[in-house]
Structure 1
Amino acid sequence: MQQIISKLQELTGNKYVQLTDRGNKSLLIALTLAKEFLDKEKVLIQDQGGWITYRQYPKKLGLEIIELKTDHGLIDMTDFEDKANANSVLLINSTPGYAVVEDMQKIQAACKRKKCLLINDVSGSIGTENAKIGDIVFGSFGKWKPISLGYGGFVATNNDKYYEEFEASYFDENKYDDLIEKIDGLAERLKMLKEKRKTILEDLSSFNIVHKDKEGINVIIKFNDDEVKQRIIDYCKENKLEFTECPRYIRVNDNAISIEVKRL
């Protein structure tokens, strides 16, 4: 297990790392600490591009949920400045919809100014510098994630007091070897996904691609009629690419097709 912890410490830049049986458990640990130990009262989340439980777990814990305006997942910093304060937590997917990358340096600086706790979901940004930013970072090793074990997750921090307050969690030791293999293959997997995304962007350059000039994994293409929608779907089928139809909170709120590059 120590080998895994060391690898995750390197990937996240965090000294204290705890394995969990699910990414959702990791999120619950982080939010529970925010409420019970830090007395936070509200959770700020992206209005799109987040994860399903962002809207469920704060409510379960009695925390107020406030959605932030975004540009297809990228946080509107003016709206953040208006809504954040010392009673708040920013729960952010640093790769919203797996389709674009947040400016986490800028967001971290804003959180410090507002005394807002920063909880960074790095499920999609693990292996990049964005995964090293946050008071607490957590991630999933679920199916189709960059570290695609199909089981488990982690939660991490550099704050020893936070770490002491993390709820206990379980991780199946029979999965250790497979997890090491997946972590060791992360850089190569990210390279493959990046190359595939580049090809798709070139092939579909005439379409209305969301954040096409930014880094990401998935490719999200907006459509305004059924003919355009069908052309995108036909491309996916011809190239054996899985896709999902939007609007979906975990992708974008517009009529669009999300080409799920992360599933390759």
Structure 2
Amino acid sequence: MEFKFKEPHKETRCIMAKVAAGENPYLTDTNNSFEKNCQKKIKKLTNHKYSKITNSGNNSIFIALSSIKGSIIIPDQGGWHGFKQIAKFLNKEIITLKTDLGLINTDYLENIDIPKDSALIYTSFAAYTAEQDTASISKFCKDNEITTIEDASAGIGDNEKKLGNGNLSDIIIASTGSPKIINVENGGFISTNNPEVFENTKIPQKLSKVDEITCSGIDKELDFVKNNLKETINATTTLKKHINTTFHTFKRGVNVIIPHEKPKDIMWKLKKELPINHHNFITKCPNYNRLKEKGIVIEVKNLNYESLKKENLDKIIEVINNQL
């Protein structure tokens, strides 16, 4: 049994190829484009009034952080290393927030001095393995005039409307690169209800122009996004239920993190028994983007949807439990 790394849907690859070959239905239509279609779909998905397509998730972060006048609050683990790198590049004061293994606890926010006009940036799923309590985060930040920036690269399209929801997050950003929930292998987006986010970041936006090929892919992938996330969460939930020990066992997520004292040794054993056609879906901790604990990570989000069938999940469970 060989697992397959996630690719854009066949329909997505087809439309991108057609646009690359010059078969763009909007070439003579100045009132429409794939980019405009994407913006409409994203606004509907996030419940935000404004959206922009970017050429990467990091460019989306750059635009979002450029719009913030105060400090940037960043989780101590379970986020994305680009948060800190871009904040430092922009000469923003960085406040590192203690978390509960990546999960944001508003009690910890109460214990720090937060300057005016600051923002909290975090990912929908802590370490990709545990959904954040966006409702409590939103309430605390609104009460304390802190802008919330949610990186919903892995949480966009949530049927429960807890993640990637513009009613809860002031700014939503995402990557549409590989192997994200919207998977076009490049690109991203940013959305908000605050027009000043875009009015005050015109230069970063100019540096983040995106072509119609990428937009055509995002446009098509958006049609699949809700089912993509649902299948990924369901598969992760199954693995967490049947693997003997995991972090954040009862939280929704898109990967599984298993505590282990010798992660490097067991990682290579698992890779031999669970081969994939290219890239990886088994990695290790400690890792800021995951958890600062020793462990093995089963990156369910990296797998093509045909690899999330019951027999494949049963194989993962069997191999891991035998090795632990």
TM-score, structure 1 normalization:
0.90
Q: Is 2:73–2:121's contact at 8 Å kept on the other side of the alignment? A: yes
Q: Does 1:74 align with 2:103?
A: yes
Residue number among 244, 252, 255 corresponding to 1:218 in the alignment: 255
Q: Is 1:97–1:250's contact at 8 Å kept on the other side of the alignment? A: yes
Q: Is 1:85–1:116's contact at 8 Å kept on the other side of the alignment? A: no
Residue 74 of structure 2 is matched in structure 1 by 45
Structure with the greater alpha carbon radius of gyration: 2
Compute the displacement of 1:51 (Å).
0.7
> Match of 2:88, as an amino acid?
K
Rounded to whole Å, the distance in 1 between the matches of 2:272 and 2:297 is 13
Residue 88 of structure 2 is matched in structure 1 by 59
Rounded to whole Å, the distance in 2 between the matches of 1:187 and 1:162 is 27
Q: Is 1:68–1:76's contact at 8 Å kept on the other side of the alignment? A: no
Residue 115 of structure 1 is matched in structure 2 by 145
Q: Does 1:191 align with 2:230?
A: yes
Residue 174 of structure 1 is matched in structure 2 by 213
Q: Does 1:154 align with 2:176?
A: no
Cα displacement string for residues 166-219 of structure 1 (whole angstroms, at most 9, x for unaligned residues): 322301112232222211111222232123213322441x22x01010111100
Relative to structure 1, the CA distance from residue 196 to residue 233 in structure 2 (aligned partners, 3 Å threshold; closer, same or farther) is farther
Relative to structure 1, the CA distance from residue 224 to residue 152 in structure 2 (aligned partners, 3 Å threshold; closer, same or farther) is same
> Match of 1:125, as an amino acid?
G
Rounded to whole Å, the distance in 2 between the matches of 1:123 and 1:58 is 19
Rounded to whole Å, the distance in 2 between the matches of 1:137 and 1:5 is 13
Residues 79-118 of structure 1: matches in 2 within 5 Å? 79-83=108-112, 84-118=114-148
Residue 25 of structure 1 is matched in structure 2 by 59
> 2:127 is paired with a residue of what secondary structure?
helix
Rounded to whole Å, the distance in 2 between the matches of 1:122 and 1:187 is 13
Cα displacement string for residues 67-120 of structure 1 (whole angstroms, at most 9, x for unaligned residues): 111111101221112223424211111212111100111101111121111111
Rounded to whole Å, the distance in 2 between the matches of 1:77 and 1:256 is 26
Let me know the Cα RMSD of the aligned residues.
Answer: 1.9
Structure holding more strand per residue: 1
Q: Is 2:237–2:252's contact at 8 Å kept on the other side of the alignment? A: no
Residue 8 of structure 1 is matched in structure 2 by 42
> Match of 2:230, as an amino acid?
K
Compute the displacement of 1:30 (Å).
0.9
Q: Is 1:101–1:216's contact at 8 Å kept on the other side of the alignment? A: yes
Relative to structure 1, the CA distance from residue 163 to residue 87 in structure 2 (aligned partners, 3 Å threshold; closer, same or farther) is closer
Question: Alignment identity in percent?
Answer: 33
Q: Which runs of 4+ in 1 moved over 6 A?
A: none
> Match of 2:118, as an amino acid?
S
TM-score, structure 2 normalization:
0.74
Q: Does 1:259 align with 2:304?
A: no
Number of aligned positions between the proteins? 255
Unaligned runs of 5+ in 1: none
Residue 164 of structure 2 is matched in structure 1 by 131
Cα displacement string for residues 111-163 of structure 1 (whole angstroms, at most 9, x for unaligned residues): 11211111111111101221013211111001111111111101111112323
Rounded to whole Å, the distance in 2 between the matches of 1:200 and 1:236 is 17
> Match of 1:122, as an amino acid?
A
Rounded to whole Å, the distance in 2 between the matches of 1:163 and 1:31 is 11
